Structure 1
């Protein structure tokens, strides 16, 4: 038979048609995908599976934890062969905590909703993080997050704006009533991991913090919509904790606590663990948080925080812009902080620093372990309807130094605070700041603009690959 015979050509056409359907077979179940959608990831995956192939049901009632576990366990064999992606199609998928693996993508299609179980038994118990010595809520252990992983490399949680719904209301109620003795689960937490990506999904009603990368390196968090009632308990948006090389960009957050909180351990535990959060980019953030900060540095900062660059920030009806929180006993440092192009509307404070944030892990902290706060730069900021421009409070005998403010215009509320600036134990310079700052922040005509580094950090030079995820027929 000739290689170009009509019969052979017909066979080739037939084979191509079959492959265009992307037939995926697992354990005797055939799933047809007639098209694909694209997404960006650290790496693309050679192997794909739908969670439905493992018995999952998207009816909002069936508990699918075992189906997810079975799927991930089966896909783990492909880690060394191009990795794998688990596809969650449209539907409501009730589940308890899920542990992910390396070289893996969890992809949530549009209209896919992972519903967190409201049964505490569906969340395993973990020991406290070593840099904290306790849970964030209680001295005992902590519940494992809805999406969790430890000691991973190249892990991606992404989608076409699919949703994780933490159904956190019962957790908030129990926490406030002191009916649980362990710390509530977060929505997403990765520990001791590198090449972590969380992108293009919606996070709703987290029981506790939303996104908590801890002891991680090379982290990209982008395109998230994070929503929680502003009265909800401790629903921080994004909390990089003792992490290096982090990029947080293009996120929209409505929160019952800080929209972004940069952390590095607590008191003597964080000092001993000694792992700072450094080289952080925050860009294109919109924040609503009437009771907390747009960006908080601390209060858990006992491993140190340095080289944070925040730009193009919008804060609306939020308590403060960038807040530095520390206290005696924290030790370590917050230094080399650079903030520019911030737009604010309806704020209690613009600038807020305090060295008297008094919560502690236990009584074992060293009150002589004083934090070093230095080289804090703010420039090109505008605000409307502000109650108090600045409350800056260092520690007696431990002055907060190197504060710089330039080109800042603050419009006051109709009934502002009688004292516009309250400054103690701080020192720095200002240029073109209105209303006139306190005397400890001296006007310096030689200051044109406060510093903002123009070099690119390594995480900002990472180019994600364009990948494809199959769509169910």
Structure 2
């Protein structure tokens, strides 16, 4: 019997597969993290005089080992093995075609002497240090203009010993912006996996101006009161995969960025094609944040199977007049929240600026944000969704959201436009127009909802873990 297709059938199929090339590409990128890259040349850090007693400074040993391994970059690459021990070091640079491998009980310790963290130029998309005007300290592990770099191991640890930096920050005695724990700039082909990162002085893992980045099966820990210890911050980077991670820190678990005000707009490199899946954590800030520095644009972000607890916010978009840029085509699904103050937060008044030269008339474009399949217990506010007067956030779509809310005013919405279906507690007035059947095409990536039964079964099993 011949099956007849109506126009609706055709449109639904087009919607289902319209994002398929991107989805397939990102799925393949994530899977690459499972491939074991074999380097034909290997050395151990002890061959270069390193001492793993937690006291001896091993910066020169790391630098000399990597300098030696650079001769193998065009011969299949090399591996630097860090065995059991506590290896104190200052900042050191990686090279292309290198694997840095930490043994199970290996700990790389960041020096508590700020002189061991050199001072470098600010990022061009920020125009200054993020915390202070001028320059910034280099990360503990740093790479620039590289290809094919892996940091991995048997769940070894990289410890930034950040408490001294946090004290300097609180006491306002810093001369330069604090360092990250790991930073890659202008690098293609990064894998960071199977490790624990603790006590970063500032943001923990920061790929900036990078492509093809995988962060997989890592644990990131810092005290909940530690300042600005973000977990993973893709920044003006594309084709990024973050999966199977646990993060408990003093700031955003993941913060997607793309430059700050006029500097980000001028640099003009967006963050795009970012996949986040199977992420668990707690924080005094947001589980997933976009911004506040998003002036180069953020788009095509897909996040699913998320579990946040004991946190301030589940999903947050932070921007303001002066930012410019855009946040669009964002899809969040299958999120579980427990003891979270605000499930979904959009703010157009996050007004921290790098200097007085920003353009207050540079308004951000926020559009096509879809959040679906969310459950929450002991949530105070369902949503604080605040756009900008004269710059309404558009096509915000909420679907299949069920929150147990303690506030008598669960939603607060202003300068926002969009649609919803099956939302509890009852959604605010600007979003009450139904998605189905008339506004399906206005919502980003709702094609995934056609597969919701299989996704929910898979996600439910994972969230019970």
Give the TM-score normalised by structure 2.
Answer: 0.87
Query: In the alignment, which of 150, 155, 164 is matched to residue 161 of structure 1?
Result: 155
What SS does the corresponding residue of 1:440 show, helix, strand or coil? helix
Q: Which has the higher strand share?
A: 1
Q: CA deviation at 1:452?
A: 4.4
Q: Which runs of 5+ in 2 are unaligned?
A: 1-32, 449-465
Query: In the alignment, which of 110, 127, 133 is matched to residue 121 of structure 2?
Result: 127
Query: In the alignment, which of 265, 272, 275 is matched to residue 271 of structure 1?
Result: 265
Q: 1 CA distance for matches of 2:380 and 2:429? A: 20
Q: 1 CA distance for matches of 2:435 and 2:365? A: 27
Q: Which runs of 5+ in 1 are unaligned?
A: 1-38, 455-473
Q: 1 CA distance for matches of 2:347 and 2:418? A: 15
What SS does the corresponding residue of 2:432 show, helix, strand or coil? strand
| Residue matched to 2:462 | none
What SS does the corresponding residue of 1:77 show, helix, strand or coil? helix
Query: In the alignment, which of 187, 192, 199 is matched to residue 193 of structure 1?
Result: 187
* CA deviation vs aligned residue, 1:381-425 (integer Å, no higher than 9, x gap): 100001111101000000000100010000023xx2x42211110
* CA deviation vs aligned residue, 1:335-386 (integer Å, no higher than 9, x gap): 0000100000011101100001010010100011000000000111100001
Q: CA deviation at 1:445?
A: 6.1
Is 2:95 the partner of 1:95? no
Number of matched residues? 413
Q: 2:419 touches 2:435 (CA, 8 Å); kept in 1?
A: no
* CA deviation vs aligned residue, 1:423-471 (integer Å, no higher than 9, x gap): 11001111000000110111416259863466xxxxxxxxxxxxxxxxx
Q: Which has the larger radius of gyration?
A: 1
Q: 2 CA distance for matches of 1:192 and 1:260? A: 20
What SS does the corresponding residue of 1:271 show, helix, strand or coil? helix
Query: In the alignment, which of 243, 246, 260 is matched to residue 252 of structure 1?
Result: 246
Is 2:400 the partner of 1:437? no
Is 2:308 the partner of 1:315? yes
Which runs of structure 2 are paired with 1:131-150 in the superposition (5 Å)?
131-150=125-144
Is 2:348 the partner of 1:355? yes
What SS does the corresponding residue of 1:404 show, helix, strand or coil? strand
What SS does the corresponding residue of 1:345 show, helix, strand or coil? strand
Q: 2 CA distance for matches of 1:298 and 1:388? A: 21
Q: CA deviation at 1:41?
A: 5.2
Q: 1 CA distance for matches of 2:140 and 2:231? A: 15
Kindly indicate whether structure 1 or structure 2 has the higher relative contact order, using CA contacts under 8 Å at least 6 residues apart. 1
Q: CA deviation at 1:268?
A: 0.1
| Residue matched to 1:379 | 372
What SS does the corresponding residue of 1:161 show, helix, strand or coil? coil
| Residue matched to 2:275 | 281
Distance 1:440-1:40 versus aligned 2 partners, 3 A rule = closer
| Residue matched to 1:425 | 415
Q: 2 CA distance for matches of 1:431 and 1:230? A: 35
What SS does the corresponding residue of 1:221 show, helix, strand or coil? strand
Q: Which has the higher helix share?
A: 2
After superposition, the CA RMSD in angstroms is: 1.5
